[in-house]
A = this chain, B = another copy of it.
């Protein structure tokens, strides 16, 4: 397997589209070879600018992402797009799989698009999205755009994979802005007022500005507001300039390094957690214990904490002493 992985990793680093596609499939299927590949290409990562794009359904995320990608392509730069839809936790495949509107770009080898959907309660979507971003990064995409619906913890985790986060808002969705405000304030580096030809755009912008007045600067960056009409390609270039300013602001500073370290702290903890979970739920012995313990708890013969102690020890995960 190692030799295959070596050759495969080489193909990814050379930007081979089919090798990249197969690697992503391996990540999605949790094929053990994916870990081998990621370990091999990891040293070639860290060069892409990873941008997260989030916003409620109907804010025009996909259109904006497409236009931004086209803009980068015109400048001769390569782009990877990861479109995540975690709102359908029960769908095995990727809903956005046939992103028909992208067909104009799909024949372009300088752009790579992949859709991902959640697969069951064991989670792992943000890990998979992060791993896919690493593959695209290693394959030489200067820009990796991660697009997701902006509600819930899963999406926040996914968005936090990015170096720079865009939050899309649309005039006339006032209630949603109120609801999402607390979470968005924290993650937005750039607010995009899309569909800005609609009525009420000035009001939304002044509301946003009022919010931003109160927000603390983070590492010397005050979130910017950019108006776009993505469907008409308006404001897209200005947005690209603002994203570039953002990256320039952080390049070479100690803040950038500190952010990267925080980023990896979160990811390492998540990864460790998932590996621990895999051990808990896999293997016939662990499964049999889980079945038996769940019955005992359901019948109130054992309390959940006692059951979990047993479960951890069966899975080979020792538990530190707690006073009881």
Contact = CB atoms under 8 A, between A and B. Distances in A.
Q: Is the interface of A mostly helix, strand, loop or mixed?
A: helix
Q: How many chain copies does the complex carry?
A: 2
Contacts of A183: 87-90
Contacts of A179: 57, 87
A269 interface: yes
B42 A300 contact: yes
Interface residues of A, number: 85
Nearest to A279: B320
A43 interface: yes
B91 A121 contact: no
A153 B123 CA distance: 8
Contacts of A295: 261, 264
Interface in A247-306: 257, 260-269, 271-273, 275-277, 279-281, 290-291, 293-295, 297-298, 300, 303-306
A60 to B, nearest CB: 13
A155 interface: yes
Interface in A119-162: 121, 123, 125, 149, 151-157, 160
Contacts of A265: 290-291, 294
A30 to B, nearest CB: 12
A239 to B, nearest CB: 25
B91 A39 contact: no
Interface stretch (A97-105, A196-204, A219-227, A310-318): A310-318
A153 B118 contact: yes
B121 A43 contact: no
Contacts of A280: 269, 272-273, 276
A74 interface: no
Contact of A264 (B86, B91, B279, B294): B294
A290 to B, nearest CB: 6
A153 B151 contact: no
Contacts of A118: 153
B303 A38 contact: yes
A153 B268 CA distance: 21
A245 interface: no
A84 to B, nearest CB: 12
Contacts of A149: 151
Nearest to A90: B186
Interface of A: 1, 32, 35-36, 38-39, 42-43, 45-46, 57-58, 86-91, 95, 118, 121, 123, 125, 149, 151-157, 160, 175-176, 179-180, 182-183, 185-186, 257, 260-269, 271-273, 275-277, 279-281, 290-291, 293-295, 297-298, 300, 303-308, 311-312, 315-320, 322-324
Given A262-B294, A272-B277, A317-B317, 12 more contacts: A58-B175, A86-B152, A152-B154, A257-B298, A260-B298, A264-B298, A267-B304, A268-B293, A268-B297, A271-B305, A272-B312, A317-B318
Interface pairs A-B: 8 shortest CB-CB: A152-B152, A88-B182, A276-B276, A260-B298, A264-B294, A42-B303, A265-B294, A90-B186
